[in-house]
Each structure stands twice: as C-alpha cells, then as structure tokens.
Structure 1
Amino acid sequence: MAARSVNTASFDRSADPQLSSPFFALLPAEIRNLIYLEFWNLCSTRQHVVKNQIPDEDNAEGFNEWSHVPCLVDPRAEDTRFDEFATSAPASAERNPWGKRLKSEWCLHWACEEQVHDASKTVRGMGREMSESLGESSDDVAAASGSQTAEQQTTHESAGCQASTKTGLLSLATTCKRMYLESLLSLYSSTTFVLTDTRTAEEFLSRYGNDPERYPIRSLEICIRVPNIITEIYYPPAHSNGDEGPPAIFAGRARPMLSMKNNPWQHLCDALVALPNLQDLRVWLDSSDLRPWHKRVSETRFFARLCDVRGPDKARFVLGLPELPERRGPDSHALEGQYLEGEKLDDVPFMVERGPRPNNWRMHLRSIVSAGAAAFPAQN
C-alpha cells in the first residue's frame, strides 16, 4: 500500500521566501511561533491520528492517507461503558449502542470514533442533497465545488473546531510552502497524538519518528484494546526454551510467524524506544479476551520492551492497566510473579495506574440474552 505525503525536500528547494509578506518580513520567528501555537490550541492540541485507505485508479492497492480529528475525551475520566450497558434493558434502544461502545477499538475514545462517523455522514448527506437538486452524482458535485467526500478527506472538517471555523488543523500549513515548513516543527512539538490502533500507531511512528528534526514528536497517548492473539504470545511457556519460535497455540495455524520478537505490539514498542524527543507518554490498555486480564497476561513479559523507553520523566510516563484481584488463591488463576507490582515497580520507567475494565464475559452473556429477547419478544 503506497502512501501519499508531502515531499519536504522538494519544498526546501522550491519554497518562496515570501519576503513581501509582512508576516515573514516584519515578525520575528519567536512571534510567528506564538501565533502557530495559538492556532493549534484553537484546533485542540490533542489529535487522533487515523489512517485512511484511499482508492486510486492508477494503483490497484490504493493509497494510505493520514487524517486527524480532535480528541473529545479526558483520558483520566472514569470509564462508564459497562455500567451503562448493564443498566440498559435487553433489546432496548440503549443496549445496542453501548454494546458497540464496549467493543470499540477506540476504547475510552468511543465518542471520538462516533464524531468521525457523524462527520462522514454529514458530508455524504450534503453531497446527496446537492446531487439530487442538481441532477448530478455526489462525486461530480464534490469535484465541481472543490470539496471532498468523507472518505477522501485528510482532515475531518465537520468535527471539533473545524465545524465552527471551517478550517482544518493543517489549513495553516497549506498557506504556502514556507509556512508549511516553519509551522511543522511547532505542530509536532506541541501536539499530543492519540493512537487507538497498534498497527496504525507503529506505522505512524515509524514513518514520522525517523526524522526527529522535522517531526519532533514529544507527546503521545496510546489507547488500545489488545486482541488476545497478541497477549497469548507472551503467556509464560511450559518449558525453558518455549520462547523460541511461535507459541504452541499457533502451531499449524494461520499465523506461524508471530513471536515475542515479531508482532505488532513489539514493533510499536520498538518505535517508541526510538523516539529521541519524547517527553510525555500515556499508555492505556484493555484486552478483547473473554477471560480476565490477570489470567492470561504476563505483564513482566508483555511490557519488557516498553521498559526501554527512557525519554520521559517517570511522572510523565503513565501506564494504565486493568485491576488485579486482591485474593490470589489457586482458584483465581493468577500468574504469580508475572505482574507489575511491588518491588517490580521500582525498576520500570513509568507509573502504573490500575482501574476497572469492562467485563467481556458478562457483556458476551448479556448480548446473547439481548439477542434472544429481540428474536422472541414477550407475548401480551
């Protein structure tokens, strides 16, 4: 899959110095930078990064384009999704939306995901209304008006600050080549990029983290619902050389190449370790496994590579994890010695904050009940 991006080297060579512009000719660089910062603040300095696959006639696989949407969520706010789901009546209008939010790959940021979808619907709806009134296709209307369909947007102009200003975060950078090059440093050094997908996060950091002078990424928030196929890779082996090659659970399966050293989570940790300018990092994790976190996740093994991230101060590097059971009897199936607790916290570069997570097993059972209630409504 190819990726569309600006050729900054070409911009360096061809950018007009804009000496006739009072903005560049009269204002010192420090003042211009303050103006850039104020603009980022107006558009939110917390931005989700989303990878879009764009079809292209000249490329069978299409292109990847990076888009952004302002974050609406306080990462420290309580997660109420399961409580809302549990208190809703089976087959009620509230049950289905909260069930989807519990399974959302955006986790705590489900409201941001819905914002993106609502913005896409708004843009598509406007295109349909215009096409019906003009007797043209939506694509023709978009082309004639110079606008883009929701799938083609590289910024979601109907979301967040864009809804009121009709300008995207990057509109400042598209003023001219010199402003693009100059504002880019400010954008990447002052924005917290929020990533909710392991592969997208790894690709984004590998692509833009390799050029720290041009893209000085300093603040990240990673919020991921880890699939159980990844956590199983790190489950303690039954014998001493069990880490060699793929785990036994994958033997003869479709993913024989997965191992502790070769999987999306490990690649993401490698990309985080390689960031030289990182100052703030918040990682919040949950699991899609129906079984509780403490039964299947060896934290000492799963976070071994993350412990190599040494840039941020410990107080500014927060790892949010599910709660552990207070009672550790044999029936709790706890993985003794495998959790980040007690003395193990002295040697890690991050603070660990534990909190409740949705009960996937209970949610699964309630979904079955809801499906049954919908299929066989009560007879009066």
Structure 2
Amino acid sequence: MDDTSSSHCSADPQFPSPFFTVLPAEIRNLIYAEFWKLYSARQHVVKRQIREEADAEGDPGSFTEQWLHVPCLVDPSAEDIRWSKYMDSSPSSEDRRIWVNRLRSEWCLHWACEEQIQLQDRTGPAESVSDREVSGAPKSPPAHGRTGILDLLLTCKRIYLECLPSLYSSTTFILTDTRTAGEFLACYGTDAERFPLRSLELCIRLPNLLTEIYYPPAVPGLDDEGPPAIFAGRARPTVSVRNNPWQRLCDALVALPAPLHDLRIWLDSSDLRPWHKRVSETRFFARLSDVRGLDKTRFVLSLPELPERRGPDSHALQEHYLEDDKLDDVPFTVERGPRPNNWRVHLRNIVSFSAAAALSLQPNAIGPVYPVPPPEA
C-alpha cells in the first residue's frame, strides 16, 4: 500500500523476462488474480503504531503509523457463535472470561482474526488461534498465506506497479472501526486508476456516543447538532451530527470516484441498552442514501433484530427504523439478525464477581458461613 508515483520512472522494463515479453497483459492479470485467491482474497486492513529504532544516543525512537494487511480467517456465511458459547460456559471459568472478551471485541465477528494478530505479536507466525485449548476459533490459513501477497509485490518494480490494481480490484478489504475505515478510504479511495477498490466490508461495534449523537431531539423538528447533555455537559464538544467518524466514513463512501461492486456493513453497539431503544436508523443511515452505482442486492446493511411488539413499554423509536416504506427509496438492502445481549453479559459478570468475592471471604473451617441458632432442647 505504498505510494507508486515515484516508481514508474525507475522501474526496469524487464525485457529479458518471458513473463512480460511472451504473455500478454490479459493473461498476466489473470495470473495475478489467481495468486490473490491463493493467499486469501479477504484481507483485514489495520493501522499499527511502529516504534522506530533508537538513535545514536540511545533515546527510544518515536512512533510512526503503518498500514498492514492481515488475511481473514472467518467464513462470511458462518453464524456468530459467541453468544451460544458464552451461555454454555461455566460461570467464573476461564472459558467464560474468554468468551466475554470475544463478545466485547471491537472486531465483532472477526474476533479470531484479532486474536491471531495478538498471538503472532507474542509468539511469531508458527502458532495459530485454533491451536489453543479454548475451542471455537476457525482454522487459520497456512503460514505462507500471511506473507504471500508481499512475495509477489516485492518481486520487482514492474510487477509491483502492474499487479497493484489487480490486488485492489480482486480483494475484499475488511475494516473494523470507523476511524480507520475513513482514513483508508481517504488514502486509497480517491484514485480509481491506481487503487480500483471493488469490494469493501465494514464490521463495526459502535460506541454509544456515536449512536447517541443521532438520537431524535426532544422537540420534534429541532435540528439538534450535538450529542445529548449526558455526554456534552455544558461545554459542547466539536463532535456533532455533521462532524464525527461515522459521518466522515459515510461521506467517503459517497465520494468514491468509481462505484464499488460489493459493500457490506455489519453493525452492533457497545451500549448496554438495546439497539431499538437508542438508535434512530433513519437519522444514523441517512447519508448512505446518497451512495450510488451499486446493485441494491450488493449493498447490504446487516443490523440487529427489532422487537415484534412495539408497545409504549418497549420504548421503541417509532418511525425511526429502516423497515416497510422506509426501504423504498434507499440504495441498499437491510438484513437483520441476533446480536449479543450486552446487558445480560454485564449483569452476569456482576453476579459472578460477587459470588467469587463471597467465596474468598469464607472461613477455612468446614461449616456454614453464617451462624445457625442452636437446636432447641
């Protein structure tokens, strides 16, 4: 993902190579496309802070940010197993702790990919998440799959320049947070010739601040520009409906110079309160109605389920959901599915912690913790 503007002039034409002199460009592009499939056509894009080497005086180097790609381990058609695994685990067990962390993972459905990166940072590429004692993680790809893309890109400058568009047009790029996704599109989504993006997948666990910004104002018709007072206090922060990471990401999707072929957005919320009580979908997704050029069946919003009963006690945001006639004029398809129950996880953690604390206070002697009155004579 480096800048290629300075490489064209210095690239060797490689005339002695039969790969370039015998094979036409169309065949070479087919070879590149098959190569990307061999080494995973689904790649996570992450931004990591890399510490530079210490200087001559021994002072630690400063941090620089680098874009990295990581092969995806997850079958996109597989169901989310986290909640069922969590419910099957024993309270206060190590399995329970691990599945709680996976339920809270910012990578959502791609928790195994996140753990694979963390594991490689500690142990190197030899071990995989599926080698660990806790079951439930998908199989990791072969070790060569982690570096295969770079093997081709680093062959020579001409191959790098020629195959780079093929890489971008043949790969599904997966991003798991709004800020990184917006920055990625700002860097690589503005030049359709050099970086012809075709397939994008966003899998994001939204912080409740982002969804609260779009909560309907107390006075109908009032154009409220800021977050609720619970977040803003008396001093209104710079974040607003028109200035926040989610809005900038939507703006970047609208501004893409060439339409994507596939765009899938899977969302959940970290809020303890249910999605249907706090998220105004018509306000939150309004900007996505301006995305054009995709087949409606290839632009999919995967959202949490809504309750069937909408009485006053359900605290439903009537007329604020993407359903029925609200879907007539939008350029996307809405799919709904179950999501982890954050409130139940939170309560169970409190109960487990309280039980563990009570056990730690019990005396070593065998017998009841609380005094029992002596039997009557």
Establish whether TM, by shorter chain, passes 0.5.
yes
Post-superposition CA distance 1:7-41 (Å, at most 9, x none): 31110111111111111121111111111111101
Bigger proportion of residues as helix: 1
2-structure distance, mates of 1:363, 1:217: 38
Q: Which is worse superposed, 295-304 or 83-92?
A: 83-92
Matches within 5 A, 1:37-76: 37-56=33-52, 62-76=63-77
2-structure distance, mates of 1:203, 1:107: 20
Q: Does 1 or 2 have the higher relative contact order (CA < 8 Å, sep 6+)?
A: 1
Post-superposition CA distance 1:83-116 (Å, at most 9, x none): 2112211111210110000000000111111111
* Structure possessing the higher radius of gyration over alpha carbons: 2
1:220 to 193, 200, 218: 200
**Structure 2 spans left out of the alignment, 5+ residues:** 128-138, 367-377
Contact 1:162-1:168 at 8 Å conserved across structures? no
In the TM superposition, residue 373 of structure 1 has moved relative to its aligned partner by: 3.3
Letter in 2 for 1:228: N
What residue number does 1:235 align with?
Answer: 215
SS in 2 for 1:236: coil
1:316 aligns with 2:312: no
1-structure distance, mates of 2:91, 2:236: 37
SS in 2 for 1:348: coil
Contact 1:42-1:161 at 8 Å conserved across structures? no
Q: 1:166 to 1:364 in 2, by over 3 A?
A: closer
Matches within 5 A, 1:241-256: 241-252=222-233, 256=237
Q: 1:165 to 1:87 in 2, by over 3 A?
A: closer
Contact 2:153-2:163 at 8 Å conserved across structures? yes
In the TM superposition, residue 274 of structure 1 has moved relative to its aligned partner by: 1.5
The number of residue pairs the alignment matches comes to 344
Matches within 5 A, 1:167-178: 167-178=147-158
SS in 2 for 1:10: coil
Letter in 2 for 1:184: L
Post-superposition CA distance 1:192-247 (Å, at most 9, x none): 00111111111111110011110000101100000000000000001233423454
1-structure distance, mates of 2:216, 2:168: 39
SS in 1 for 2:266: strand
Letter in 2 for 1:268: L
Post-superposition CA distance 1:156-205 (Å, at most 9, x none): xxx95460467332220111111111010000001000111111111111
In the TM superposition, residue 346 of structure 1 has moved relative to its aligned partner by: 1.1
Q: Which is worse superposed, 313-322 or 108-117?
A: 108-117
2-structure distance, mates of 1:296, 1:253: 22
1:274 to 255, 270, 276: 255
What residue number does 2:134 align with?
Answer: none
Q: 1:293 to 1:28 in 2, by over 3 A?
A: same
2-structure distance, mates of 1:111, 1:259: 33
In the TM superposition, residue 74 of structure 1 has moved relative to its aligned partner by: 2.3
2-structure distance, mates of 1:124, 1:113: 14
In the TM superposition, residue 252 of structure 1 has moved relative to its aligned partner by: 3.2
Post-superposition CA distance 1:90-145 (Å, at most 9, x none): 1112101100000000001111111112222222999xxxxxxxxxxxxxxxxxxx
Provide the TM-score with structure 1 as the length reference.
0.85
What residue number does 2:136 align with?
Answer: none
**Structure 1 spans left out of the alignment, 5+ residues:** 127-158
